[in-house]
Amino acid sequence: KPPSLPVFCIFQLLAFIMSIVWIYMLANIIVDILVLCGMLTGINTAILGLTVLSWGNSVGDAFASMSISKKGFGEMAITGCVAGPVFNLMLGLGLITVKCNLILPDGIEFSKTDSTGMLTLSIILASILILSTLSWLIVSNKFKLVDWHAKMLILLYSAVILLIACLSI
């Protein structure tokens, strides 16, 4: 005999909450492993986050976008490529900012005079530059993306990674 509807709804809600707890715990473990790798290799954790963590986080989205694009829904794939990271940035940064401002009485202090602050500022400015470049390319080419746009964005991303790597040394 199947469970009653209220019991079934409670189990679904508890399963959802447990999946969030598992994702939270695994994300913390992944970050701890990256910090450990940074300590062992001497590589700045910001560089590891900007490369290894972000690449690993984007692999699923990349395969989904390629699959959607192959089925003829290129607009949906492009929207997913841009909207996913923007959502992550807005929600993730928003939640972190709210949490830190609740814990710290004076809020989050950001210093652009030390190396960590300059690295953070460089990453923010690079994100704005890449998104602005993508927007300009799309609008200037009458909303059509061609292969040289991809090459230009990959080159820009590589230049940003090199710049940030040089700043973190």
Q: What percent of the chain has pLDDT over 70?
A: 97
Strand locations in the chain, DSSP E? none
Kindly report the pTM of this predicted structure.
Answer: 0.66
pLDDT at residue 47, as a whole number: 81
Q: Which residue has the higher pLDDT, 137 or 29?
A: 29
DSSP readout, 75-123? Answer: HHHHHHHHHHHHHHHHHHHHHHHHHHHHHSTT-----SSSHHHHHHHHH
pLDDT at residue 45, as a whole number: 80
Mean pLDDT of the chain, nearest integer: 86
User: What would the pLDDT profile of 49-58 be if each residue is shown by its tens digit?
Assistant: 888 888 888 8
User: What would the pLDDT profile of 78-130 be if each residue is shown by its tens digit?
Assistant: 888 888 878 887 888 888 888 888 888 887 776 767 766 777 778 888 888 88
Contact, 46 vs 123, CB < 8 A?
A: yes
